[in-house]
Chains A and B, each alone.
Chain A
Amino acid sequence: MANMKDMIPAFDLVQPTTVEDAVDLMKDAGDEGWVLAGGLDTMDWFKDRIKRPRVVIDVGGIEEMRGIRDEAGGVEIGALTSLTQVATHQRVRSEFGLLSTAAENVATPQIRNQGTLGGNVSQDTRCWYYRSGWPCYRAGGNVCYASAPLAMNREHCIMGRSRCVAVNPSDTAPALIALDAKMVVQSPRRRLYDAEDFFIGPSVDITRMTVMEPGDLLTQVFVPAFWANSNFYFEKVRDRGSWDFSLVSVAAAFRMSGNTIEDARIAVNGVAPYPVRLDAVERLVQGETASETIQNAAGELAIQGTRALRHNDYKIVMMRNLVRRAVRSVAA
């Protein structure tokens, strides 16, 4: 375990004010750089002496990465926009209530004031074996301590595992997938990712949760208008209602034609190392009314392929029920 008697290791702090400067500084720092925004994920790592970057690039002063802007085709949200702002912004609340609800469910008011949307989607996993600095696969080692026969893995994944069984902890991530949001990533070149493709699993790269590599900076999140004013459903199950990461969460958007589901996007989180879009369930419910039969079928289909660890089989039932309830939300 980390020795807590010493000081946080020293680092060089740089505070760029433009995206271009930040990208240049990140490029210079390479693997030894660390991007600091709200600092809520960062400070845990630093205080535990597990991450010891040589250079910390504080992007908090980059104004162009802040705020919510109305665009013709949707809204553009700066990655530095606080979760409180996302949760309370008038247009986001009225047209994209799914995202504002998800942001509202993150942690506590204090954390939402400090935490950013960009940080919430790009934060690292909360697996305590990994966060304790043990040399697991995700940390570059040879073992997953969380999947050992006697491991404490109540909060770990039930699908999508590949050596690592950690889960993605973000609340806004499934909402952004359900809204078909686009993530703008800046390195020397600008790239646009569908939110669904922004998150990666350990089978792709076990040391990362997203497509972003050292030198990449998430600058904006664009939420297209296509799903605006749809029927939304968000539910997060956690151990403590006041403040906790989700055990399982579901975010769903439905476009209705009368009582019929015309189109749907459904994503869950807390069940895999990445937020999972349930496209099979979406295809199942399209063109159907949300009858009890369809609700049950959606729940059962959602959990196809899940496999519990020693202590988390409850998540399978929870995921099935949350998906069922999401579909039930648009029942006549």
Chain B
Amino acid sequence: MIELFRRDQDPWGQDILIGVSWDLMWAAVVLAAVFLVAHALWYRSRGFAAHATTPAPAPAGVPERVQRHSLAARIFHWSMSACMLTLLVTAFVPVMGLEIPAWVTIHWIAGVALIASVIYHIIHSIGWQDFWSMMSFGPSFFRDGAAQMKHIASSGAPEPKAGKYPFDHRMYHHAVIVASLAAIATGVVMMMRIDTPFFERNPYLVTDSTAGIIFAIHGIAGVGFILLIASHIYFALRPDKRWLLWSMVRGWIPRDVYAEHFDPSRWNVTGDSARSGKAGSGALADASVSAPAEDA
């Protein structure tokens, strides 16, 4: 039976939470591996590749290369990736028994870099990206979800065409938001208990029991990231999804991929955005560029 949390007695003999059990880390690793294998087998058994439909012809005016991610967005993505991988490695590899000298220092520096990149992303996404296309929870979000579930459950249901951000991408993004903010908020409090240039070290800033809760939340977020990042890398490397990886490298997707996966009425790329190479239309962006018509 795996343990969920580590507990101990404080100096007054009270039973307090210390953090998540490292059994959870191993459980996440095993669960991620099982999911990846199961998905690969399920995908093969469904015969998606064999039943790939001929893509509909792209509407007139769609450029050969459809801009999907701006350079600024790609820089954020890869910066965040580097931070996340560093954080995961420095958090869990020492627990697995491999020594990483000064892992705490590397960990908090990566954490600070992550915080900086997330702040940058929030500002950039509100001002210059398709913020509401990703973050809205209007009727289309639930329609997309229902269509996606139907597609997964039934081999006869076609893959729904999406706006700029498909349903599964949005769900993944929301999960990352929750895990990231939980890890960052708790991580900042944890940083106050170690030596950094930012805070006067104070181990008694919060009580032992509160610290235990903070460590537990941080640990749960970390364990969650094992699953999130493993599945993200898996899908990025799958042949059928590799266009997503390339779009995050090059910034654009080919016209035929656009025609196959996206609904032109919800992600219009025939306007100025495609011609000017702009990837988004946030609140501060030029109002004349093509805006996704999600729930408008």
A258 on the B face (CB < 8 A): no
A147 on the B face (CB < 8 A): yes
The answer to whether B211 touches A204 (Cβ under 8 A) is: no
Q: Please give me the residue from chain A that is nearest to B216 by CB atom.
A: A142
A305 on the B face (CB < 8 A): no
Among B105, B201, B203, the residue within 8 A (CB) of A203 is B105
What's the minimum C-beta distance from B113 to chain A, rounded to whole angstroms?
Answer: 19
The answer to whether B194 touches A163 (Cβ under 8 A) is: yes
Q: CA A145 – CA B11 in complex, angstroms?
A: 10
What's the minimum C-beta distance from A284 to chain B, rounded to whole angstroms?
Answer: 25
The answer to whether B212 touches A142 (Cβ under 8 A) is: yes
B150 on the A face (CB < 8 A): no
- Give the total of B residues in contact with A, Cβ under 8 Å: 28
Given A141-B8, A142-B211, A163-B104: A204 and B195 within 8 A (CB)? Answer: no
The answer to whether A161 touches B204 (Cβ under 8 A) is: no
Cβ contacts under 8 Å, A213 to chain B: 97
Q: CA A200 – CA B16 in complex, angstroms?
A: 29
Contact with A along B186-222 (1 / 0, CB 8 A): 0000000111000001111000100110010000000
B103 on the A face (CB < 8 A): yes
The answer to whether B94 touches A205 (Cβ under 8 A) is: yes
The answer to whether A149 touches B204 (Cβ under 8 A) is: yes
B118 on the A face (CB < 8 A): no
Which among B100, B101, B202 has the highest number of chain A CB atoms within 10 Å?
B101
Given A134-B11, A135-B9, A135-B10: A145 and B102 within 8 A (CB)? Answer: no
B240 on the A face (CB < 8 A): no
Q: CA A217 – CA B101 in complex, angstroms?
A: 23
Contact with B along A132-144 (1 / 0, CB 8 A): 1011000111111
Q: CA A134 – CA B11 in complex, angstroms?
A: 6
Q: CA A132 – CA B10 in complex, angstroms?
A: 11
Q: CA A145 – CA B12 in complex, angstroms?
A: 13
Q: CA A288 – CA B18 in complex, angstroms?
A: 53
Q: Please give me the residue from chain B that is nearest to A307 by CB atom.
A: B195
Given A135-B8, A135-B18: A147 and B101 within 8 A (CB)? Answer: no
The answer to whether B101 touches A203 (Cβ under 8 A) is: yes
Cβ contacts under 8 Å, A141 to chain B: 8, 18, 208
Kindly identify, within residues 191 to 238 of chain A, every residue whose CB is under 8 Å from any CB belonging to chain B.
Answer: 200, 203-205, 213
Q: CA A149 – CA B202 in complex, angstroms?
A: 7
A291 on the B face (CB < 8 A): no
The answer to whether A162 touches B99 (Cβ under 8 A) is: no
A148 on the B face (CB < 8 A): yes
Cβ contacts under 8 Å, A145 to chain B: 11, 203
Q: CA A141 – CA B18 in complex, angstroms?
A: 6
The answer to whether A162 touches B102 (Cβ under 8 A) is: yes
B19 on the A face (CB < 8 A): yes
Q: CA A49 – CA B269 in complex, angstroms?
A: 71
The answer to whether B105 touches A162 (Cβ under 8 A) is: yes
The answer to whether B18 touches A142 (Cβ under 8 A) is: yes
Among B6, B99, B105, B215, the residue within 8 A (CB) of A205 is B99
Given A142-B211, A143-B208, A145-B203: A161 and B99 within 8 A (CB)? Answer: no
The answer to whether A203 touches B9 (Cβ under 8 A) is: no
Q: CA A145 – CA B211 in complex, angstroms?
A: 13
What's the minimum C-beta distance from A27 to chain B, rounded to whole angstroms?
Answer: 15
Given A142-B211, A147-B203: A204 and B193 within 8 A (CB)? Answer: no
Q: Please give me the residue from chain B that is nearest to A129 by CB atom.
A: B11
Contact with A along B3-26 (1 / 0, CB 8 A): 000101111000010110000000
The answer to whether B10 touches A203 (Cβ under 8 A) is: no
The answer to whether A140 touches B18 (Cβ under 8 A) is: yes
The answer to whether A144 touches B203 (Cβ under 8 A) is: yes
The answer to whether A203 touches B102 (Cβ under 8 A) is: yes
Which among B11, B94, B97, B103 has the highest number of chain A CB atoms within 10 Å?
B11
Cβ contacts under 8 Å, B97 to chain A: 213
Given A135-B18, A143-B193: A148 and B203 within 8 A (CB)? Answer: yes
Cβ contacts under 8 Å, B212 to chain A: 142
Kindly identify, within residues 94 to 131 of chain B, every residue whose CB is under 8 Å from any CB belonging to chain A.
Answer: 94, 97, 99-105
Q: CA A135 – CA B18 in complex, angstroms?
A: 9
The answer to whether B102 touches A142 (Cβ under 8 A) is: no
Cβ contacts under 8 Å, A140 to chain B: 6, 8, 18
Among A135, A143, A204, the residue within 8 A (CB) of B203 is A143
Cβ contacts under 8 Å, B9 to chain A: 135
The answer to whether A147 touches B201 (Cβ under 8 A) is: yes
Cβ contacts under 8 Å, A143 to chain B: 193, 203-204, 208, 211
Q: CA A201 – CA B201 in complex, angstroms?
A: 19
What's the minimum C-beta distance from B104 to chain A, rounded to whole angstroms?
Answer: 6
Q: CA A203 – CA B100 in complex, angstroms?
A: 8
Between-chain CB contacts (< 8 Å), 25 pairs: A132-B11, A134-B10, A135-B9, A135-B10, A135-B18, A140-B6, A140-B8, A140-B18, A142-B193, A143-B203, A143-B204, A143-B208, A143-B211, A144-B193, A145-B203, A148-B204, A149-B204, A161-B195, A162-B102, A162-B104, A163-B194, A203-B103, A204-B99, A204-B101, A205-B94
What 4 A-B pairs have minimum CB-CB distances, sorted nearest first?
A: A135-B8, A203-B102, A143-B203, A142-B211
Which residues on B are within 8 Å of A, measured CB to CB?
6, 8-11, 16, 18-19, 94, 97, 99-105, 193-195, 201-204, 208, 211-212, 215
Given contacts A141-B18, A142-B193, A204-B102, 8 further A-B contacts (CB under 8 A): A142-B208, A142-B215, A143-B193, A145-B11, A148-B202, A200-B99, A204-B100, A205-B99
